[in-house]
Amino acid sequence: MQFPVMDSAGREVSQVELPADIFEAKINLGLMHQAFVRQMANARQGTHSTRSRSEIRATGGKWYRQKGTGRARHGAQSAPIFVGGGLAHGPKPRDYTKKLPKKMRRGAIRSTLSALVRDDQLVVVDKLEIEAPRTKAMRELISTLVGEQSALLVVAPEQKTLRKGVSNLPNAHSIIANYLNVRDLLKYDKVIMSLDALDVVKGIWGAGA
């Protein structure tokens, strides 16, 4: 599929061939959702912990006498119904990691990239360059390409200046092409990809990779 290539001024300068196996794959929403859920689950630390009544530091003696007070009988202040008591069935440290076969993970990325092309959310640029890692220069470049829409910049590993320039922008983010993931690709209105990054994507997610 022939796809237009823009320059940094937003003008179409050429065409590039997008591999059909990556950018025209069957869009599988269920697979994309499964990959997204796995990514979000694997990002959880699972270090949450609450104290049960057996872990509360409180007297072990009976709080007040059994009879004659007119109140319900209680044996300890550490009971969950009291302020400062333990938490019943509270969270404990656990591992949230989910597994997904490599073939399914790769299929989810191809499906997401194909959906971006279908919905006109992909912008291919011949060169993404700024002279210095300045937030103002990066804001102007993104504004020229996509206007006020939020944007994800997919860059080659060596383009460190770009990543520094976009780090302070609230509606933009950069990611190295090697680490494409469903969450970041779907989070922004537009995905801006340089030709260098496109070559990386072809090498990793192409059929022969």
Specify the number of domains making up the chain: 1
**% the chain with pLDDT above 90:** 62
Position 7 in a domain: yes
Position 156 in a domain: yes
Spell out the residues 6+ positions from residue 146 whose beta carbon is closer than 8 angstroms to its own.
Answer: 123, 189, 190, 192
Q: What is the CATH number of the domain that holds 197?
A: 3.40.1370.10
Position 83 in a domain: no
What pLDDT score was predicted for residue 208? Answer: 67
pLDDT digits (tens, 9 = 90+) for 79-135: 998 888 999 999 999 999 999 999 999 999 999 999 999 999 999 998 887 777 788
What pLDDT score was predicted for residue 209? Answer: 64
Position 63 in a domain: no
Query: Alpha-carbon distance 133 to 108, whole Å?
Result: 33
Position 38 in a domain: no
Our measurement of the distance from residue 123's CA atom to the centroid of its chain's CA atoms, rounded to an integer in Å, reads 20
What pLDDT score was predicted for residue 133? Answer: 74
The DSSP secondary-structure symbol of 173 reads E
pLDDT digits (tens, 9 = 90+) for 163-181: 888 888 899 999 999 999 9
CB atoms < 10 A from the CB of 153, how many?
28
Please provide the average confidence, as pLDDT, over all residues in the chain: 90
Position 135 in a domain: yes
Which domain range does residue 198 map to? Answer: 2-25+100-205
Position 59 in a domain: no
Position 127 in a domain: yes
Of 199 and 1, more confident: 199
CB atoms < 10 A from the CB of 62, how many?
12
